[in-house]
Amino acid sequence: MTTEGRIASPEERLSYIEGVLPHLATKVDVSELKASVAETKTELLRWIVGLFVITWVGLLGLGVSIVLALVM
């Protein structure tokens, strides 16, 4: 390498590229990641909807108990 941070010779350039290549993602890696993200998104959506329903059922129960307490 030169002092400017650039690679001077083709051999050094090739060596640098060969050093980086094992760390790059392949098509299989990317497709597996996409599948994993889609699965996580579906699971997260189920949790959000479930918690939303549970929250509203709890608030409805609280409201009913307040109304019954005021009536009685």
Q: Look at residue 14 and tell me whether its pLDDT is greater than 70.
A: yes
Q: Look at residue 34 and tell me whether its pLDDT is greater than 60.
A: yes
pLDDT value at residue 31: 95
Q: Tell me: the pLDDT tens digits for 36-66?
A: 999 999 999 999 999 999 999 999 999 999 9
Q: HEC states along the chain?
A: CCCCCCCCCHHHHHHHHHHHHHHCCCHHHHHHHHHHHHHHHHHHHHHHHHHHHHHHHHHHHHHHHHHHHHHC
Q: What's the rounded mean pLDDT across residues 12-33?
A: 91
Query: Which pTM does this prediction carry?
Result: 0.57
